[in-house]
């Protein structure tokens, strides 16, 4: 039984309002919801209408009205014992807080939303949409791993509830992941993700499901194609006209308007009109939250480089890099200021401690952390699968921190994480073990295949442009692999394998390197 089945009044109007928002017609939905709020006497109907109204305001970008809308919705939801409604409200409040630049409140709401949605005993269609909105909030805050996990949860719940797969395709989440890679200097990684997004759209077209995609998804697919073309990559569409048509979708969403404007810049670059692209950038204003504060500067750099003004392109690129780094710094500051302490003061001490204890992602690189790595290896070995583990340790990292500072060291770690991820095979697992040490897990693999993986990682790191990131400070990697033997107890087998891999890594580090 869904949430609206428990609402006693205005069900048809609330269902209609929800359908309008799913179709990116938020302005019409807002008018309908205002009427419900004024006329209903049912507390559940009023609470649902107020939560939906907050969603419409966020979609319309009416930032000045967020605070009051959150207060009114919170007051209506507070006394209702409905985990879905609390989860959905907090997911939307996180989006609103992000729009307002209040990252500490945003993260607090993310924690609350995940807990509330996870507590729903009988997930349904409404719960799926709650996870969708939580995924969007994670994505805008650059928690890309969490975003992908949440949208997959939404997709699975949606399929169970009869919602087509394409409804929760959410290409915007992977699009933001892609441009974030580009802003941090990993254009190859960006293109890899953009190609995956294009392949998804081609699959929907091939199976006759493209017409069922949400308007906001079509706009994101269009921008992904335009961005791919701006980087000089071959795009599998019917040309600029088709890409422009996709970008024109998105309804009255403020984010869609931003993507339309930036998409036209990308198309101008791709069509060999870089001066027009720069002129467009000079006249438009887009929200920093749509694709990150660095996106306009990065597009300006690409356009100027195509126009032959490489000095100005370099300055614009450095600005994009700084803006992206500032975003990462702000996220770290949120945690340093103590989000957990704020939640503790709101009578969530145990839950906050549990959330911190179960965190499975490294906040700097976005990779799985040591705890998640240990769980993964344990699960693989328990299933009786053959597995090889590799220890990767950076060469020259101490010099990076000494010459350029720890901020540059963080940027190197982020770049290394992207490089290793980029060359791994489907099904391989990469984690940050601690410091400048990374671990790769190769399921169903022998040592000869592991040696080939090591060569690919070493070559990718060697060919990376470290000079532009940390001038005069070369960066390399030493790798050691070992197979986990099933002959000992699980804990002993893992310990022995890690010791062997560590020894092999140290031998690799001591060997002379080709210049």
Least confident of 321-325, 329-333, 461-465, 493-497: 329-333
Residue-wise pLDDT tens digits, 33-64: 999 999 988 888 899 999 999 999 988 888 88
Neighbouring C-alpha atoms within 13 Å toward the C-beta of 490 = 12
Distance CA 110, CA 138 (A): 8
Neighbouring C-alpha atoms within 13 Å toward the C-beta of 512 = 2
CB neighbours (10 Å) of residue 217?
Answer: 25
Angle between helices 26-39 and 11-22 (to 10 degrees): 160
Mean per-residue pLDDT, 210-234 = 89
Short-list 420, 481, 493, CA closest to 449: 481
DSSP state, residue 236? -
Sheet-wide strand order for 437-443: 429-434, 437-443, 387-395, 476-483
The answer to whether the CB of 180 falls within 8 A of the CB of 189 is no
Distance CA 308, CA 213 (A): 39
Q: What is the dihedral of CA 175, 180, 182, 186, to 10 degrees?
A: -110
Residue-wise pLDDT tens digits, 17-27: 988 987 778 89
Q: What pLDDT does 171 receive?
A: 92
Tell me the domain boundaries of the chain. Answer: 169-339, 370-510
Structure-block tokens of residue 207:
């199976």
pLDDT band at 359 (very low <50, low <70, confident <90, very high): low
pLDDT band at 104 (very low <50, low <70, confident <90, very high): confident
Residue 143, pLDDT above cutoff 70: yes
Residue 507, pLDDT above cutoff 60: yes
Structure-block tokens of residue 464:
């990376």
Structure-block tokens of residue 446:
């022998």
Distance CA 424, CA 439 (A): 12
The answer to whether the CB of 229 falls within 8 A of the CB of 188 is no
Distance CA 357, CA 375 (A): 14
pLDDT band at 340 (very low <50, low <70, confident <90, very high): very low
The answer to whether the CB of 461 falls within 8 A of the CB of 392 is no
pLDDT band at 192 (very low <50, low <70, confident <90, very high): very high
Fold classification of 370-510 is Alpha-Beta Plaits (3.30.70)
The continuous run of DSSP H or E covering 443 comes out as strand 437-443
Of 113 and 383, which is predicted with more confidence? Answer: 113
């Amino acid at each position: 039984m869904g949430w609206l089945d428990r609402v006693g009044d205005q069900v048809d109007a609330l269902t209609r309002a929800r359908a309008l928002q799913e179709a990116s017609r938020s302005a019409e939905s807002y008018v309908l919801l205002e009427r419900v709020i004024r006329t209903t006497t049912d507390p559940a109907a009023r609470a649902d209408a107020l939560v939906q109204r907050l969603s419409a305001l966020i979609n319309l970008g009416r930032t000045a009205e967020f605070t009051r809308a959150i207060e009114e919705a919170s007051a209506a939801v507070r006394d209702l014992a409905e985990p879905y409604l609390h989860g959905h409200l907090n997911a939307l409040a996180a989006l609103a807080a992000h729009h307002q630049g209040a990252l500490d409140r945003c993260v607090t709401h993310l924690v609350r939303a995940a807990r509330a949605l996870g507590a729903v005993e009988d997930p349904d269609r409404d719960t799926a949409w709650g996870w969708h909105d939580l995924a969007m909030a994670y994505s805008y805050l650059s928690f890309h791993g969490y975003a992908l996990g949440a949208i997959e949860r939404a997709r699975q719940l949606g399929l169970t509830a009869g919602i087509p797969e394409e409804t929760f395709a959410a290409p915007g989440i992977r699009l933001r992941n892609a441009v974030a890679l580009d802003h941090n200097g990993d254009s190859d990684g960006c293109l890899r993700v953009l190609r995956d997004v294009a392949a998804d759209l081609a699959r929907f077209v091939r199976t006759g499901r493209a017409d069922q995609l949400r308007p906001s998804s079509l706009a994101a697919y269009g921008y992904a194609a335009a961005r791919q073309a701006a980087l000089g990559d071959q795009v599998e569409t019917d040309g600029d006209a088709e890409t422009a048509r996709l970008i024109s979708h998105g309804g009255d969403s403020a984010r869609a308007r931003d993507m339309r404007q930036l998409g036209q810049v990308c198309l101008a670059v791709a069509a060999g009109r870089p001066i027009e692209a720069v002129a467009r950038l000079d006249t438009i204003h887009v929200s920093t939250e749509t694709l990150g504060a660095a996106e306009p500067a990065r597009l300006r750099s690409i356009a100027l480089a195509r126009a032959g003004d490489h000095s100005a392109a370099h300055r614009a690129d450095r600005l994009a890099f700084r803006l992206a780094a500032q975003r990462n710094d702000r996220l770290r500051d949120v945690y340093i200021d103590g989000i957990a302490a704020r939640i503790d003061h709101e009578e969530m001490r145990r839950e906050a401690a549990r959330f911190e204890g179960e965190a499975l992602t490294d906040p700097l690189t976005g990779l799985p952390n040591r705890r998640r790595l240990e769980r993964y290896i344990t699960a693989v070995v328990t299933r009786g699968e053959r597995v090889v583990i590799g220890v990767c340790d950076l060469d020259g990292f101490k010099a990076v921190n000494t010459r350029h500072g720890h901020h540059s060291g963080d940027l190197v770690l982020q770049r290394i994480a992207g490089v290793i991820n980029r060359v791994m095979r489907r099904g391989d697992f990469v984690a940050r073990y601690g410091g400048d040490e990374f671990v790769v897990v190769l399921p169903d693999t022998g040592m000869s295949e592991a040696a080939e993986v090591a060569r690919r990682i070493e070559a990718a790191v060697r060919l990376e442009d470290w000079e532009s990131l940390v001038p005069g400070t070369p960066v390399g990697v030493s790798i050691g692999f070992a197979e986990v033997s099933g002959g000992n107890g699980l804990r002993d087998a893992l310990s022995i394998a890690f010791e062997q891999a560590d020894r092999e890594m140290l031998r690799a580090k001591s060997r002379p390197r080709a210049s």
